[in-house]
Amino acid sequence: MPKRQRDSTFNLTGLPINGDLRTYMMKWRDFLAHQKAFSSHTITAYDIDIRHFIWFVNRHVGEEVTPDHLATLKLRDFRSWLAARHNENFTATSTARALSVIRGFFRYLEKQGVLENPASQHVRTPKLSKSLPKALAVDQTMDSLTSVGAEHKEIWVQLRDVALLTLIYGCGLRISEALALTPKDIEDGAVSLTLTGKGNKQRMVPVLPQIHEAIAAYKKSCPFTLANDEALFRGARGKPLQPAIFQKEIRNLRAALGLPESATPHAFRHSFATHLLASGGDLRTIQELLGHADLSTTQRYTKVDHERLLSAYQKAHPRA
């Protein structure tokens, strides 16, 4: 199978599909981008999943895939696709997402009057292990905030990494949300920050003085002009900082501080929520700060905190 594409839009080059299916796939992509307001990152993930599925169907039918082929797929065919993903070592989480993508594509085709395939909506989702958010201890978090980027010779890069991590942890941001910010989004001394998260959902989060101090130090040292409507965080050549670069910085930080493998940029968002809960924050407030649409997503943190308390009890209680 050809190497998977990782661009920000659907790349249909080389896909074994006829002209009609190509047209419908591009219309679906436009629907996701403009009607559903999905991010380019999400659309890229959808692209990877749909390409894998189309290549599977191509091998299955032995010819160029058409809408008619998709309409006649049986439940056993979808199960064979899931089995193929399992044999290719895709995780259950990845396959569950891919199945959701394929179901959505078939629903779109049905609403457009292109085809109907009831079997596509009756495939059983792979069982998922309910993993808990991997939060860092408070002391690990504080050490990280002062140590990130320390291996860089350029002071401005060190200060950039400190400011970015302080922002992610201090406001509970996703890395994509933090890197999308411009200087005008987080004005000096502003008590709050308005964000647009997943599903174009807006939320407001408080901004602590320590966050402003870290960002001000970075801005003062940054060698590039930071226009109000351009990216706040920059890479070594002045272009917008890419997530992969900062993820690499966190991997270096893990090695330097002996942090667990679960210590990723997103772990600091989890830590923000877990530490708030441990300090008496209520779930509804934390839900709003994180931008979770469903309270059940936020409720996972209660178990995290319960396990922390149980661990402390077992270590300290004389009868434990």
Is 317 annotated as catalytic? no
Yes or no: say if 28 and 107 are a contact pair by the CB < 8 Å rule. Answer: no
- Helix axes 92-111 and 19-30, enclosed angle (nearest 10): 100
CB 286 within 8 A of CB 273: yes
Of residues 306 and 221, the one with the higher pLDDT is: 221
106: confidence class by pLDDT, cuts 50, 70, 90: very high
User: Quick check: is 198 catalytic?
Assistant: yes
Confirm if 50 and 101 have CB atoms less than 8 A apart. yes
pLDDT at residue 6 greater than cutoff 70 = no
Catalytic residue among 51, 69, 174, 212: 174
CATH class of 19-121: mainly alpha
Active-site annotation holder among 51, 52, 69, 266: 266
Instruction: From the candidates 24, 46, 169, 301, give the one annotated as an active-site residue.
Output: 301
**CATH 1.10.443.10 given to domain 138-265:** yes
Question: What residue ranges do the domains of the chain occupy?
Answer: 19-121, 138-265
DSSP string, 11-25: --TT--B-HHHHHHH
Mean pLDDT, the chain, whole residue set: 84
pLDDT of residue 205: 83
At 35-48, the pLDDT tens digits run 887 777 788 888 88
Give me the pLDDT at residue 4, please: 37
Asked if residue 159 lies in contact with residue 291, where contact means CB atoms within 8 angstroms, the answer is no
Active-site residue, selected from the candidate residues 27, 60, 152, 198: 198
Note whether 170 and 209 are within 8 A (CB): no
CB 164 within 8 A of CB 233: yes
Q: What is the pLDDT of residues 212-256, one digit of tens each?
A: 999 999 999 999 999 999 999 999 999 999 999 999 999 999 988
Which residue out of 29, 269, 270, 275 is catalytically annotated? 269
